[in-house]
Structure 1
Amino acid sequence: MTTLTIFFCGTGSTKFDNAHENYWDGELVSTLASHHAGREFAEWIVVDGPGTSNLQADDLFTKSKDYGLSGTLFGKGWEENVQHAMNIIKGKCDWQREQLTEAEYNRLKAAGIPIEDVKVEGSWLWRKYNYGERSVTQQKLQEQIIKTFRKDGVIPTKVNLVGWSRGGISCHMLANAMFNDSALQNIPVNIFAIDPVPGIGNFQEHRVKLNYNVKEYVGFYARDERSKGFSCVIPQTATGTKTSIFPMPGRHATLVGNASADGVSGPKVVAEPGLIVRHFAEVCLKRWGTVLDKNLNLTDADLRNHTAAIVNEAAKYKAMEKCSYTWFTELDQGERYVSLGSKGVPFSTVKGTIYTPATGLTTSVLDVEAYRAIR
Structure 2
Amino acid sequence: MTVVTIFFCGTGSNKFDTQHENFWDGELVSTLASRHTGREFAEWIVVDGPGSGNLQADDLFTENKDYGLSGTLFGKGWEENVQHAMNIIKGQCEWQREQLTEAEYNRLKAAGIPIEDVKVEGSWFWRKYNYGDRSVTQQKLQEQIIKTFRKGGVIPTTVNLVGWSRGGISCHMLANAMLKDSALKNIPVNIFAIDPVPGIANFQEQRVKLGSNVKEYVGVYARDERSKGFSCVIPQTATGTKTSIYPMAGRHATLAGNATSTGGVPTNTSDLKVLTEPGRIVRHLAETCLTRWGTTLGKTLNLTQTDLENLANGIARDEARYQLMHNYSYTYFTELDQGERYVSLGSKGVPFSTVKGPIYQPATGLATSLLDISAYVHLR
Instruction: Tell me the TM-score normalized by structure 2.
Output: 0.98
1:288-343 CA distances to partner (integer Å, 9 max, x unpaired)? 00000000000000000000010010000000011000000000000000000000
Q: Which residue of 2 aligns with 1:99?
A: 99
Residue 149 in structure 1 maps to residue 154 in structure 2: no
Which residue of structure 1 lines up, in the alignment, with residue 319 of structure 2?
314
Residue in structure 2 matched with residue 348 of structure 1 by the alignment = 353
Alignment-mate amino acid for residue 122 of structure 2: G
What's 1:31 paired with? 31
Distance 2:282 2:265 in 1: 19
Cα distance in 1 for residues equivalent to 2:363 and 2:317? 26
Distance 2:357 2:56 in 1: 41
Q: Which moved more, 1:230-239 or 1:262-271?
A: 262-271
Q: Which residue of 2 aligns with 1:290?
A: 295
How many Å separate the matches in 2 of 1:370 and 1:146? 38
Q: Which amino acid aligns with 1:120?
A: V
Q: How does 1:349-364 map to 2 (within 5 A)?
A: 349-364=354-369
Which residue of structure 2 aligns with residue 365 of structure 1? 370
SS of the residue corresponding to residue 321 of structure 1 reads: helix
Q: What is the CA–CA distance in structure 2 between the aligned matches of 1:82 and 1:116, rounded to whole Å? A: 36
Aligned-residue offset at 1:231:
0.1
Alpha-carbon distance in structure 2 between the residues aligned to 1:189 and 1:314: 36
The sequence identity of aligned pairs, in percent, is: 81
* Superposed CA RMSD: 0.3
Partner of 1:239: 239
* Equivalent position of 1:301 in the other structure: 306
Amino acid at match of 1:180: K
Structure 2's unaligned 5+ residue stretches are 267-271
Q: Distance in 2 between matches of 1:268 and 1:280?
A: 20
Q: Residues of 2 paired with 1:265 and 1:368: CA distance?
A: 30
2:269 is matched with which residue? none
Number of the residue aligned with 1:278 = 283
Separation in structure 1 between the aligned mates of residue 122 and residue 356 of structure 2, nearest angstrom: 63
Matched, 1:51 2:56: no
**Matching of residues 1-375 of structure 1 within 5 Å:** 1-266=1-266, 267-375=272-380
Task: State the secondary structure of the residue aligned to 1:7.
Answer: strand
1:236, CA displacement in angstroms?
Answer: 0.1
Question: After superposition, what is the alpha-carbon deviation per residue over 1:94-131, rounded to whole angstroms, capped at 9, x for unaligned?
Answer: 00000000000000000000000000000000000000
Which whole-Å CA distance do the structure 2 matches of 1:72 and 1:30 have between them?
A: 18
Aligned partners of 2:103 and 2:65: how far apart in 1?
A: 19
Cα deviation digits, residues 230-282 of structure 1 (max 9, x gap): 00000000000000000000000000100000111222110000000000100
Aligned residues: 375
> For residues 306 and 51 of structure 1, what CA distance do their matches in structure 2 show?
33
- Secondary structure of 2:327's counterpart equals coil
Instruction: Give, as a single letter, the amino acid of the residue that structure 2 aligns with 1:113.
Output: I
Residue by residue over 1:55-100, the C-alpha shift from the partner in whole angstroms, topping out at 9 and shown as x without a partner, is 1000000000100000000000000000000000000000000000
* 1:53 Cα deviation after fit: 1.7
**Structure 1: how far apart are the matches of 2:359 and 2:328?**
33
Following TM superposition, the consecutive aligned residue runs of length 4 or more in structure 1 with deviations greater than 6 angstroms are none
- Report the secondary structure of 1:146's partner residue: helix
Partners in 2 of 1:90 and 1:67 — Cα distance? 26
